[in-house]
Structure formats: structure tokens, C-alpha cells
Structure 1
């Protein structure tokens, strides 16, 4: 019974959100669903393509500092609960990406060079554009900060990605390192020697 009631509530909320808030976005695709977001800042800079599904309590932030930011989420992408996307420049999530719960993606960080000024009061610094390649999978609690993740790559749970990860790789750790790569000749994932 609980699941049935939850489905009805979610369906109602999706309809409510689409009717009253979808026009705030730069683009809001067909069959896209945003379930009870915690916060959306700068919707006019956010592109949600077709069949995007964003679970509840997500925080999407596109903040204009010196130029218009671009936060684009590709068709068929699924974003889990409590996701936090923070964009001041460019975050491009390509199509069919799978993100587990509590994923953090950012192209910026707070300044910390002035030790006599509280960090929260220092300037925001761009750290690099973010691209999440088509078909990639980000595990629970993954952080991506100013890096690119290749298509069909997997980032293990609790990893922190600060450097680019190539296509068809599995990366893990803090900082994340490639541990496996797909071998197309053998049609298998192979360990990467250090």
C-alpha cells in the first residue's frame, strides 16, 4: 500500500513540477522528471534533455560569475537521491549516464588563499569544465571536481575524481585512479598495471 501511495505522490509531483516550474529552465525535455528537488538555483542556465530522471532532494546550481554557465543533462540520464551539481562554467552530462545517490559534481571551489578571511567569504574559483561521457556510471558518494569522465566508464563508490578518466575504464579511490580498462579484442575488463 505504501509503495502505491508513493507512486501516486511522485506522479502528482512530476506533473505539478512540469506545469509550474519547467518553463524556468533553459530547456526541459519530453518525459523528463524532477522529483521534489532540495534546491534549484539558476534554472535559466540548466538544460534537461528528454527522459532525464532526477530523484528527490537534488540540488542543481548554475551560478553566473563572469559568463553564462552551462549545466546540461543528456537524454536518458538517471540521477539518484541527494545529488549536488554546482556549476559556474560548464558541466556537460552526456546521454544515458547513471548516477547513484549522493553524487557531487562541481567545476568550482571556494578560494582559500587568504587565511585571515573566512573561506565562505572568499571568491569562487573555476577548476575546469566537467564532462561525464555517454553511458558512464558513477557509484554512490562519488565526487567529480573539474574533471572529464570518458564514455562507458565506471567510477567506484566513494571515489574522488580530480583528473580525467579515459573512455571504457573503471576508476576507484581518492584520488581516483584507473584500475581496469575494457579490452575490445578479448571483450573483457582487464586490470591496469601500475
Structure 2
């Protein structure tokens, strides 16, 4: 029965979030959304319930084809773009953002200071573990694995395993050996 409700909800979001495409997509019940006109999702997009997606000040979100997102996603874009590459899987309770508050002026509360925005890119065929936080300016290469509860900031090459808080590369694919090797 719940899939019938998901389909009806999908028809509504198809006009906004999916820009009229995505017949093989489904979208679960949101918690909050703002600025869906600045969100573009591809074909076979799967978004489980409990999501919060928001864009502000011209921020954009581009989600490519065949992306699956677990429940509890929090996705924020301010001024710049957040991109999620095709065939990526995002586990539950993940936060992805391209913005942060300034904090330099000691005479102004942090929440009143200017936002700092940096483009955030998740490459193709990535896997983002449960509870991970992807911070502003992060660039993940193709086929990266982000461990559960990792706090990720920075640029990471193709085919690496990233874990920890702060996250660092713990494994990388070695093409000469045709296997994943630990990074010391």
C-alpha cells in the first residue's frame, strides 16, 4: 500500500525535483524542502523518506542518473553547486553541503556572519557510508568509498577508501597490482 503513496508523491515531485523525467524513480516523504526548482535529478533516482533538501541564494543541486539515497539525507546548497555523480549510493543519515558560516568577526554572532560557499562534487560510482558528513569544497573522484561517520573535506583521487574524522585515505586501488592496497 505504501508504494502506491510513493507513486502518487513521485508524480508530484516529477514536475519539480525530476523536471518531468525519471519514470523509474521514486521519492519518499520529505521532512523539509526549499528551492526545489534549483534541484535537478536524473533517471532512476531513488530517495527514501525523511529527506531535507534546500537551496539558497542561487545554489544548485545536480543529481545524475541511477543515484540511490537512504533515509535521513540532509543536502544544502548555497550560491554554488553540489553535484552527485551517476550510479552513486548514499547511505542513511548523510549530510552533504557546499556552505559554512564565517566565524572570523568576534563582534558578530557566527550565525549572523556571511556564508562561505565552495562547490562540492561527488564523483561517479561512489559509496557514501551511513552518517558521513561531506563538507564544503570536497571533491571525490570516481568510485570512492566513504566510511561510516566519516567527516570529509578536501580533494580525493579516483578509487580510494576514505575514513575517519577528519577523513583520510586508508586504501587506494593499485592498477599495477589490480587490487586495493592499504595506504600507510
Normalised by the size of structure 2, how large is the TM-score? 0.92
Does residue 13 of structure 1 match 2:9?
no
Conserved? CA contact 1:26–1:44, under 8 Å: no
Q: What is the aligned residue count?
A: 181
Cα separation, 2, equivalents of 1:98 and 1:90: 19
Deviation of 1:114 (Å)? 3.0
Question: Matched residue of 2:168: which SS?
Answer: strand
Query: What is the CA-CA distance between 1:188 and the residue it aligns to?
Result: 1.1
**Once the two structures are superposed, what CA deviation does each residue of 1:65-99 show, in whole Å capped at 9, x if it has no partner?**
xxx32201111111111111110111010101011
Per the TM alignment, residue 108 of structure 1 is displaced from its structure 2 partner at its CA by 0.3
Distance verdict in 2 for CA 1:117–1:149, change over 3 Å: same
1:119 positional shift? 2.5
TM-score by length of 1: 0.87
**Deviation at 1:152?**
0.6
Equivalent in the alignment of 2:104: 113
CA distance in structure 2 between the partners assigned to 1:20 and 1:81 by the alignment = 19
Segments of structure 2 that go 5 or more residues without pairing to the other structure are none
Three-state SS of the structure 2 residue aligned to 1:47 is strand
Give the SS at the match of 1:181. Answer: strand
1:168 aligns with 2:140: no
User: What CA distance in whole angstroms lies between the structure 2 residues aligned with 1:154 and 1:50?
Assistant: 23
2:55 counterpart residue number = 62
C-alpha distance in 2 between matches for 1:167 and 1:122: 35
CA-CA distance at 1:185 after TM superposition = 2.6
Instruction: Quickly say closer, same or farther: Cα 1:26–1:113, change in 2 above 3 A.
Output: farther
Is this contact kept in 2: 1:135–1:152, CA < 8 A? yes
Gaps of 5+ in 1: 1-7
2:132 corresponds to: 142
The reply to whether residue 183 of structure 1 matches residue 174 of structure 2 is yes
How far has the Cα of 1:26 moved from its partner? 6.5
